[in-house]
């Protein structure tokens, strides 16, 4: 399997995975963070990590049930003179799935 524009291929300590996203900003961040592990070609059945950007939380393809447990809530980078945060993150455990929600915070 070889890499295309919208996906990145990695092998981290023998664990092969394919990162797929429709967000070029997220793709660039992941490529920078994991650049030492990027591979041109990996096996035919890597683990799939897929991230899709949506305009509103209601547009998410996976819904979070009322039984989900929030594991983490936090903010992203703090920048500028006014110490604004750049994003928010919530992580839920819901019936065996880990659901991570990253929300870009407006600057104004």
pLDDT digits (tens, 9 = 90+) for 3-13: 555 888 888 88
Coil, strand, or helix at residue 35?
helix
pTM of the model: 0.54
Tens of pLDDT, residue by residue over 44-88, are: 888 888 877 777 777 777 788 999 999 988 766 666 666 666 667
State the Cα–Cα distance between residues 108 and 105, nearest whole angstrom: 9
* Domain boundary assignment for the chain: 1-53, 66-108
Q: Please give the Cα distance from 29 to 102 (Å, whole number).
A: 13
| 78-79/97-104 β-pairing | unpaired
């Amino acid at each position: 399997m070889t890499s295309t524009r919208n996906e990145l291929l990695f092998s981290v300590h023998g664990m092969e995975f394919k990162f797929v996203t429709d967000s070029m900003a997220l793709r660039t961040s992941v490529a920078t963070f994991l650049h030492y592990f990027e591979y041109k070609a990996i096996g035919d059945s890597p683990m799939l990590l897929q991230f899709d950007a949506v305009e509103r939380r209601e547009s998410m393809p996976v819904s979070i049930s009322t039984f989900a447990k929030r594991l983490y809530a936090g903010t992203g980078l703090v920048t500028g003179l006014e110490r604004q945060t750049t994003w928010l993150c919530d992580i839920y455990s819901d019936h065996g799935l880990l659901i991570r929600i990253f929300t870009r915070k407006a600057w104004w």
